[in-house]
Amino acid sequence: MQKLRVRYAKRGRLRFTSTRDFQRALERAVRRARLPVAFSAGFHPHPKISYANAAATGWASEAEYFEISLTERADPAQVAVALDEALPPGLDVLQVVEAEPGALADRLQASVWRVDLPGADVTGLRSALERLLAMDRAEVTRMTKSGARTFDVRAAIERAELTADPAGLDLVLHHTTPAVRPTDILTALTELCGWQADRTRSVTRLAQGPMRADGALDDPLTERG
């Protein structure tokens, strides 16, 4: 059995694809591409595909990942081409490699995010961001499937920088439990730091992977990562 790790992007209107929608699209693509995918045992066998840390529905991403197990060896480059052609435009396969030892999820330690805030008051946003970064703790509350949860967002921030043209935030966030989302940072800026947020925004994940000592991220598909 061969295990492959795949990086793909969610772009354009396909950013509204949910995790379940993507799973269905991928399983159809695997069949169209005629990949020799392995199946689980039992009464209800399913393709051996595992997903890791998917971005929320409605957010674009250049760094989504899954693993797929094959019953026969295949050239990763050819698998990349076949899957990309079988998936709809906007769900784009970027890279396929053979899996290294260890769990993929353990390599996804942090994410780089871009939050576009068109028309935002940059001066007010800068002041609010400075107040947030000066805090030791910044607790916000978010509704989850199990009810309201209150958690500290400050501990997850490795880096947060303001961009002026266009207005927005560049964020590097550690993967925590519960996960701190870019929108949680906006909540903290609004509720704790006095910024008047505009509802218009877009969120894009640019990268995720292992965190280096200098705060940069390695590629999770490389041996170094």
Domain-wise residue ranges, the chain: 2-106, 108-209
The pLDDT confidence band at residue 166, using thresholds 50, 70 and 90, is confident
The values of phi and psi at residue 196, to 5°, are: -90, 100
Alpha carbon distances (Å) from 60 to 57, 64, 75, 163 = 8, 10, 28, 19
Architecture of domain 108-209: 2-Layer Sandwich (3.30)
Question: Could you identify the residue written with the tokens 């989302």?
Answer: 181
The pLDDT of residue 41: 87
Torsion of CA 53, 59, 63, 69, to 10 degrees: 50
Token readout for 70 is 């094959």
What band does 197 get if pLDDT is binned at 50, 70 and 90? confident
Q: What pLDDT digit, counting tens, does each position of 173-189 carry?
A: 999 988 999 999 999 99
Question: Can you give the pLDDT at residue 27?
Answer: 96
Q: Decide if 208 contacts 121 (C-beta within 8 A).
A: no
Tell me the C-alpha distance between 31 and 86, whole Å. Answer: 9
Over 60: is that where the pLDDT of 113 sits?
A: yes
SS3 category, 81: helix
In this chain, the answer to whether the domains covering 2-106 and 108-209 adopt an identical fold is yes
Helices then strands, each counted (H, E), the chain: 5, 10
Residues 183, 123: Cα–Cα separation, whole Å = 20
Residue 71 has pLDDT above 90, yes or no: yes
As a whole number of angstroms, the distance between CA 17 and CA 201 comes to 18
> Looking at residue 195, what is its pLDDT?
92
Per-residue pLDDT of 117-133, as tens digits, reads 988 889 999 999 999 99
At residue 195's C-alpha, the angle toward residues 146 and 173, to 5°, is 55
**Distance between CA atoms of 52 and 216, rounded to whole angstroms?**
20
Which CATH architecture does the domain made up of 2-106 adopt?
Answer: 2-Layer Sandwich (3.30)
d(Cα 52, Cα 34) in Å, to the nearest integer? 24
* Token pair recorded at residue 211: 């965190």
- What is the C-alpha to C-alpha distance for residues 190 and 175, in angstroms, rounded to an integer? 22
Q: Which of 112, 16, 121 is nearest to 62 (CA)?
A: 112
In whole angstroms, what is the distance from residue 26 CA to residue 49 CA?
9
Nearest to 27 by CA among 11, 49, 45: 49
pLDDT at residue 224 in the model: 57
